[in-house]
Structure 1
Amino acid sequence: MQQRVAASPSAPQQESAEDLPEPLPEPAPEEMRLEVVMAALSDPLRLEIVRRLLLESEAFDHTCGWFGFDRPKSSLTHHFRALREAGLIRQRQYGLERRSQVRVHDLNARFPGLLDLVAASPSQDL
């Protein structure tokens, strides 16, 4: 599974690992459970979040506002937390913002083929 990264002069520079804030709490790869991951993906909004992060993201530069969902911030916070606690995404805190990225390497190692299915799923009109 390869992420598409848009190359544009205005794209933010990739930060080196030592410059990144620590990730928020998440399960270790060996602690991820298929039924928890599948439960998190069973919600259409969460499935669309992961799909868009896989196909359209650039590093950790996407906050919940980037998706353009017409939902209260508290609702989006709940959905992002469910994805993080299931092990699907990694989030880092940048000041008041949380930025997300799919844990591609960990998920491909633990559940081969799962992210290919997510990426191939039809876009949801939410």
Structure 2
Amino acid sequence: MDLGFDVVVTITGIVLVFLILILLMAIITLEGKIFDSMGTKKKAAKEAAKAPAAKPAAPVQQAAAAPAPQVEEGIPGDVVAAIMAAIHAMGNGKYTLKAVRRSKNGWGNAGVNDTTAPF
């Protein structure tokens, strides 16, 4: 066997692999930029359509319009405020808190259901 031929084949293979990796990296980067620009265009179109139609109400007016939730005895006010803020943030203001009460520990029920579940 010729050692020179083996070296040429090895170097050609390594160069070819790295060139294809660079090409794949360029393609993936280009796709990312295309999808980012499409996303910003859609977001701008949504904001443009949404802006004249809806006026955000003042938080004081929303809080005054919503009835006070029924809170179980012993639950601190800061916990209720945190729960209300989380519900408001996750629901974009569509949901209101009606009641706050303590519940049983769900981990115990999960353990019972896990060990007694039929096969």
TM-score interval, smaller chain: under 0.3
Bigger share in strand: 1
The structure number with the bigger radius of gyration is 2
Structure number with higher relative contact order (C-alpha < 8 Å, ≥ 6 residues apart): 1
Bigger share in helix: 2
Q: Give TM-score, length-normalised by structure 1.
A: 0.23
